[in-house]
Structure 1
C-alpha cells in the first residue's frame, strides 16, 4: 500500500491517483463466484464455506484459532496493523502507531509482551538478532518516536526526516530505540540481506517517489538505497549505495518512480524487485552493487508491481499487482481476472518467462477493498504453495506447482467491514511454524490453521526466525 505523506483524508490521494491511472479493462471480465476467475478452478474444499461465529467464513480445511485485537495506544484512528516478522516464540506486528510484540509459544493463545508507540506510515517491520527495523514513509519533524507528522515540506518545524528506525529488542518486554538512518523518499518497505561477514547486515530500502515540493523526496527518483548496519554497533549504520536498477528507464506508464518491495534470496544470490511499472530480477552476489539480470513489464495487466516471492528452489517468481494502491474493490465482475492479481514467472536460462495469472476467486462486494497483497510460501518440499493476504478479500492459500494452472486450496475471510472503513482486512498473511498469521488492519492479529494433505508436511518445518522479504531454503 502507498499513501501520500499528508495523513488523514489526504492519505488516500495517492490511492485515488493510482485508480485514475489504471489501464482500461480488457474484454475478459472477472467471473462470478459460481465460475472460476483464476487460471484453474477453485479447489472443492474452498467451494463449501462454513461460518465461524457469524463473522468469519472459511473453507472446510481452514479455521481461526485465535484473534488478538489491537490494543491502546495502537488501536485508534489510522493506527492500522501492517507487516509481520517472527523470531523464535515471538511475532512482531507493525502498526502505523508503532509495533507490538506477541508471545506465540502457544499459537492458539498469543500473549501481548510489549507495545511500542512510535508513529509513522507504514512501520513495516523486520528483525535480525537483537535488532528490529521499522520503515518510515512519512515526513516527520525528527527521527525519534516523539516526532510529529511534518507534511512534505516540513511545515511543523524541526528537521524533516524519514527513513529507517532501529530498535534493540534484547528485552522483548522493553524494546529500546537505538538510532536511525535517513533515506531519500523515506522507506516504504525494506529488505534485509546478510553480508558475507556475519557482523554486517545490508538493508535494501524501497522508497517510491518523487513528490513535488517535498523536503525529503526530490525529483528525479529512480533509486533503491542500500544501508549497511554493523550489527554490533547499529548506531554506525549508514547508506553505502544507491544503485540504478533501471538501465533502460522505468516503465513508461508508471505514475511513480522507484520500487515498492524487494525480496532477496541470499543463498541463491538473487533478488526480485517489484517496482512501479516493472519487475526486476537482480544478481546480488555483490551486496552493494546488485546487477540487473532482467527487467520486465506487463503494460496490459499490471499497474503497481507490489511484491515478489521466489519458490523454494528459485526457479519461479510470483509478482503481485496492487491495482489501485489497496483502496479499490477489484475482486468483482467489473475487474478482469488478470488485474490486481499475481503473475507466475518461470526462470528459464536465467530469464523470466510469464506462465499464468492467479487471482483470489471469490466475488467481493463494491464496499470491500480487495487486491493482491503480502504473502509467503508454505514450506512443503517438492510443492509450490503460497498463503496470501487480499485485504477484505481475506486470506487465500493456493498451489502454483503447475505454473500454468494455479488453484486455490483453502481460504479465510470476513464479510465487509462495518461502518465506512475504506481500508480494512488482511495486510499480510504468512506461514510460520505450523500456523498462518494474518495481520488484519483493523481486527488485529489472526492465527489461522490449515489442515490439508497438501500442506500438512509443512507442520514439521521449524524456523528460528522469519522475515518474508529475506527468503531462506527450507
Structure 2
C-alpha cells in the first residue's frame, strides 16, 4: 500500500458512497472495542518527525528484545523486553514511503517507494520523470539499536514498495525487492516491468551490497487486468506488491497485483514459478501472502481500494476485499494452488473507516493454522483456518473511526505475533501491544524466536 492508496483515496471516496453500516455495535470515535480474550497492554504514540497524520506507520521487523516499526518518515526502535511497558529507544528520521523494514543479522533494510532527490536521509521529493531521482533500498547497521547507522543504498527499478529477506549461504542475504506501477514517462520505471529486483548483501561487508539480477517472473505479461471501475476491476500485473519466502521449504508466495504465485526459491538467485492463479471476479489487487507452518496452504490478501476505501460494509460484501485461502496440492514441480474459501472480518465499519485485509502473521500453535492480521480501521483479527474451507474468527481488537466526518488513512497496518504477544503498527496511533489469552492460542507463547521478518517465515516446529 502506498502510491496506489494516494490514487484510490482521491477517486474512491469521491465516486463511491457505500451504504452506511447498520450495526449498533460500531464503537464511537477513537473508542476501543475488543473480544474478551484480547487484552490491550500498551500504546505508544508516534514520535517527533514521525508523528504527523501524513507520516503513516507501516511494517514491522523484530530482533531480540527490539521491535523496528516502519513509518513513511523513517522508523522507530522499541525495547519490548517488557511488553506491557515498551520504550522508545531511537527515532530515525529518513523520509521515503513506505519504509517497509526487514532484518538480517545486524542489518536493517528500508524500502523507499517515493521518488527522492538522492539516496540520503535528508532527501526531498523529486519527480519520477527526472532521471536523477532515486528510489530503492537503504541499509542500516543496527548493532547498536539506540543509534542505527546508515551504511549503503541500492537503487532499483520503480523503487522498493516492499522487501523480503531470503537467507543465503556463507554469510550472505538476498533482498527481493517488489515494486510496480511503471510509466513510460519514468526513465527508471518503464513498462512492462514484469520483474523483481534481487540484491545480494555480504552481511559482514554491507557496503558491498549490489543488485545482481532482475528476473522476469511474468514472461507472458501476467494478468492484463480488465479496466473496470472500483470496486469491480482487477489490476493488471506489472510487478509484485509483496513476496513471502519460506526458506526452510524452498518456497515463496507472491502477491503480484493481478496474480497469486507459488515459487521455488531453492536457488535464491533464480526464483522459478511453480504455479499461478487469478480471481478476476473477487480479487482487485493481490497484496500479500502467508503460508501455514506446514506449507500446504497460502492465505492471499486482496487490498481492494488500495487500503484507502471503506470496504467492510454490506455494499461491498464478504468476498471482495477478503482473504482467499488456497491449499497447495501435488508435489514438486506439479504443485498447484487450489482455492478453498474466503475470510473477511464479520464486523461492520462506518463509511469513514478504511478497512480491507492487510498484513499479518501466524500464531505458532502446533497442529493448528491460526493467524493474526491487521485490517486498517477494521482493527485486528485473530482467526483460525485449520479447516481451509471453514475459517473462523477467535479474537478481535479495534478502535472506532478516527473521524466521523471524513475518511483519513488510519488503523492497523501490520499486526504480528512475536514471542507471545501481538504488536500492531497503527498508521496514526503508533505501537499497540496486545496479549491474547485463549486456550486455542496459549501454546504459541512457548515458541521463542531471536528474529522475525513476517515476510521471511520460519518453520516454528522443525
Structure 1 runs, 4 residues or longer, greater than 3 Å off: 14-22, 29-34, 49-54
Report whether the alignment pairs 1:457 with 2:443: yes
Report whether the alignment pairs 1:397 with 2:373: no
**Does structure 2 conserve the Cα–Cα contact (< 8 Å) formed by 1:395 and 1:429?**
yes
Report whether the alignment pairs 1:301 with 2:282: yes
**Any idea what the Cα deviations from partners look like across 1:374-395, whole Å, max 9, x if unmatched?**
0000010100000000000000
Name 1:437's counterpart in structure 2: 423
Q: 1:212 offset after TM fit, Å?
A: 4.1
SS at match of 1:259: coil
**Does structure 1 conserve the Cα–Cα contact (< 8 Å) formed by 2:158 and 2:182?**
yes
Name 1:2's counterpart in structure 2: 2
Report whether the alignment pairs 1:257 with 2:238: yes
SS at match of 1:391: coil
Structure 2 vs 1, CA of residues 241 and 271 (structure 1 numbering), >3 Å: closer, same or farther?
Answer: same
Report whether the alignment pairs 1:205 with 2:181: no
**1:50-449 equivalences in 2 (<5 Å):** 55-154=31-130, 159-195=132-168, 197-253=169-225, 254-255=235-236, 257-349=238-330, 350-418=335-403, 420-449=406-435
**Any idea what the Cα deviations from partners look like across 1:331-356, whole Å, max 9, x if unmatched?**
00000211100000000101111000
Q: 1:150 offset after TM fit, Å?
A: 0.6
**Any idea what the Cα deviations from partners look like across 1:239-282, whole Å, max 9, x if unmatched?**
11111212433112124511000000000000000011000100
SS at match of 1:191: strand
**Does structure 1 conserve the Cα–Cα contact (< 8 Å) formed by 2:222 and 2:236?**
no
**Does structure 2 conserve the Cα–Cα contact (< 8 Å) formed by 1:310 and 1:318?**
yes
Structure 2 vs 1, CA of residues 331 and 408 (structure 1 numbering), >3 Å: closer, same or farther?
Answer: same
TM-score (norm 2): 0.92
**Any idea what the Cα deviations from partners look like across 1:378-424, whole Å, max 9, x if unmatched?**
01010000000000000000000000000000000000003645200
CA distance in 2, matches of 1:269, 1:355: 23
Q: 1:220 offset after TM fit, Å?
A: 2.3
- Equivalent residue pairs, number: 445
**Any idea what the Cα deviations from partners look like across 1:52-90, whole Å, max 9, x if unmatched?**
998210001112100010010210141111101101000
**Any idea what the Cα deviations from partners look like across 1:181-236, whole Å, max 9, x if unmatched?**
000000000100001x1411001100012034223312221111111111111111
SS at match of 2:241: strand
CA distance in 2, matches of 1:452, 1:382: 16
**Does structure 1 conserve the Cα–Cα contact (< 8 Å) formed by 2:140 and 2:152?**
yes
**Does structure 2 conserve the Cα–Cα contact (< 8 Å) formed by 1:18 and 1:325?**
no
Name 2:231's counterpart in structure 1: none
| Structure 1 range deviating more: 209-218 or 264-273 | 209-218
User: What is the root-mean-square deviation in Å for CA atoms of aligned residues?
Assistant: 2.4
CA distance in 1, matches of 2:20, 2:415: 24
Structure 2 vs 1, CA of residues 364 and 259 (structure 1 numbering), >3 Å: closer, same or farther?
Answer: same
Runs of 5+ unmatched residues, structure 2: 226-234
Runs of 5+ unmatched residues, structure 1: 5-10, 35-48
CA distance in 1, matches of 2:117, 2:26: 49
